Structure 1
Amino acid sequence: MSTVRTAVLAAATAALLAAPEASATNYTLWIHGKNGGGTQRGNYADFSNWGSSTVAAGVNKKAVNWNGTQKISVENFRIRDALDCFCTGTNWCYIAVHSAGNLQIGYALSLYGGSTRNIKNATPNSTGVCGDAGGTQVGWNVKWVDVASGAGGGSELADNGEWATTDPIVGDLVTSTARAMYNHNTTRSKWFYMFAGAKGTLYSGILPGQDDEAVSYHSTGGVSAAGSFCNPGDLFCNGTLTLGTAATSNGVAKWSYHTVELRDDGEIYGHSGGGTWGGIVGPVRADMAATAL
């Protein structure tokens, strides 16, 4: 476990111990990526995108389902609805995201995390909207964000037309577009723990550096500029993706409050979870089960 994660856990534990008897209810929100096939939007119990809903994946887990074929800006209201529902008032949230879900939570925090929100009652209706509990607050109560192969920096597969161009979200995943969509340094001081997969071979001629067959390390590692970054000792790369918050070996900084929790040195984690909590989703699920308490 990283020193950053250890410090955040210690602070969270101290806050809970100091809280009055009517302390916070914690929730774990899971935000899927592109497509997210079969999920029922507004139904926080529908984990069909991820795998069995009986698998441990953090306290009071909720599936935040959105139309993963549409643009981030069009569907981001569903993420904000979930954050309002479960992460306001005395309630707090852990967030887990996969792929383009990284863009969704980053977009919400950067552009709306400083806005005034109505405190909600954590009881959603059929469309995923919760009722008002009275009062307001600024932003949301988020402990941290775990990111499984995040697409916050876009993918060269979108740049090169390797995905169906009829899906509006593909335009958002163009690397230049994804990186300009919002200020990735503005996380409202919430830590993004990056889990970067590297089991990629199919698109090695398109995706620079290490990749998981969908997204490269420059994105999954939270690096502030696109480039060719790899595991230690790998050849033909601009630099090594470092663990933690440090810049890459050739001096390219990570975005603020972004830290690499897992770098796939063994090249064993692919991008897709396969509907079985597999691939790079697996270690994120395990981390949330162990720490989102």
Structure 2
Amino acid sequence: MKKLLGMTLATTLLVGTEAAAANYTLWIHGRNGGSTQAGNYNDFSYWGPSTTPAGVNKKAVNWNGRERIGGQNYRVRDALDCFCTGTNWCYIAAHSAGDLQIGYALSLYGGSARYKKNAIPNSSGVCGNTDGTTQVGWNIKWVNVASGAGGGSELADVGEWATGEPLVTDLVTTNARALYNHNTTRNIWFYMFAGASGTAYSGILPGQDDEAVAYHSTGGVSGSSGSSQCNPGDWFCGGTLTTGTAACSDGKAKWSYHTVELRDDNEAYNHYANGNWGGIIAKVREDMVNYAY
């Protein structure tokens, strides 16, 4: 199931199109201190060295990582319009709250008319139209999610993060899950990479976690609030997070078109890039290098 079907379909659709058609890899970051340059698709400071391979024609989708998802989502839509319309196709990689950003864009705007763009951004990150025609939604092959916060985090629930930061309101588990319909992905697959090297907040985050987000979120488990999900063999847990699309052992289903690609059984990967594409991001980057071409 892994990517090959989507890649074959996309390639078939591109047969006979103009030679200028290109594929791009868009990296959508999560919560940060606002240090990235919004609209600058070459600023990879959130992730690590910009020279590190991370998929074909990689672009950094930067937004103000302290503000509300709805208010900043236009930055993501600008990038999708730029590089994922017309004859161009995209692979998406998202981290943490970047999961909310791409999910929000697809659910609320993925069925809207989008002008076909020329992939030449101005200083604000907006591209020009090609021929003035539109298409429905964007050309996206699939989405890789590193430690996705689409289901929120209990650290936001209890005020472990700065409560005066607007984004934290969206990261409250019940708010994140009600922000948009997570089942509406426009038939685009979300491949979830769930880290489990977390100890600092083990008393706050239920089940396995990566020090910032628990398995119920990073595994794409549905429901109006979080649940306790763990690796196999953990007896002190509500359920086991299954790989693939199957429901967890406690019967809790995953959102539609969400599949667990990596479950951190060895508890080796934490949440953080650490300035060098680290933690669970490393596994997503590796996957993009292998499959996003």
**Category of TM-score, reference length = shorter chain:** over 0.9
1:158 corresponding residue in structure 2: 156
Instruction: Please say if 1:75 is aligned against 2:72.
Output: yes
Match of 2:269 in 1: 269
Q: Report the RMSD for the aligned CA atoms in angstroms.
A: 1.2
- Residue matched to 1:56: 53
Check the 8 A contact 1:239/1:248 in 2, yes or no: yes
**Paired residues of 2:28 and 2:94 also in contact (CA < 8 A):** yes
Please state how far the C-alpha of 1:13 moved relative to its aligned partner. 4.5
1:11 Cα deviation after fit: 3.4
Measure, in 2, the Cα distance between the counterparts of 1:50 and 1:116.
31
Mark the CA change 1:47 to 1:236 in structure 2 (over 3 Å): closer, same or farther: same
Q: TM-score by structure 2 length?
A: 0.96
Deviation at 1:236, TM superposition (A): 1.2
- Using the TM superposition, give the Cα deviation of residue 8 of structure 1 relative to its aligned residue in structure 2, in angstroms: 2.7
- Normalising by structure 1, we get a TM-score of 0.96
* CA deviation after TM superposition for structure 1 residue 37, in Å: 4.5
Counterpart of 1:223?
221
| Shift in Å, 1:166 | 1.3
Distance 1:227 1:275 in 2: 31
Partner of 1:187: 185
Q: 1:286 to 1:179 in 2, by over 3 A?
A: same
Matches of 1:196 and 1:170 in 2, distance apart?
21
| Cα distance in 2 between the residues matched to 1:66 and 1:202 | 28
Partner of 1:257: 257
Aligned residues: 290
Aligned equivalent of 1:29, options 7, 15, 26: 26
How many angstroms apart in 1 are the aligned matches of 2:233 and 2:127? Answer: 50
Gaps of 5+ in 2: none
> In the alignment, what sits opposite 1:243?
243
Q: Which residue in 1 is equivalent to 2:129? A: 132
CA–CA separation in structure 2 for the residues paired with 1:49 and 1:212: 18
- For residue 95 of structure 1, what is the aligned residue in structure 2? 92
2:102 to 86, 102, 105: 105
Find runs of 4+ consecutive structure 1 residues off by over 4 angstroms: 13-16
Q: Verify the 8 A CA contact 2:229 2:240 in the aligned structure 1.
A: yes
Aligned position for 2:197: 199
Deviation at 1:44, TM superposition (A): 0.3
Name the residue aligned to 1:6: 4
In 2: Cα distance, 1:103 partner to 1:35 partner: 14
The structural deviation recorded for 1:235 is 1.6
Q: Deviations over 1:25-61 (max 9, x none)?
A: 1000000000154211110000011101111100000
- Whole-angstrom CA distance in 2 between matches of 1:9 and 1:217: 28
Distance 1:9 1:230 in 2: 32
Q: Is the counterpart of residue 38 in structure 1 residue 35 in structure 2?
A: yes
Give yes or no for contact 1:47–1:63 (8 Å, CA) kept in 2.
Answer: yes
What is the deviation of 1:132? 1.1
1:233 aligns with 2:233: yes
Preserved CA contact (<8 Å) 1:36 1:49? no
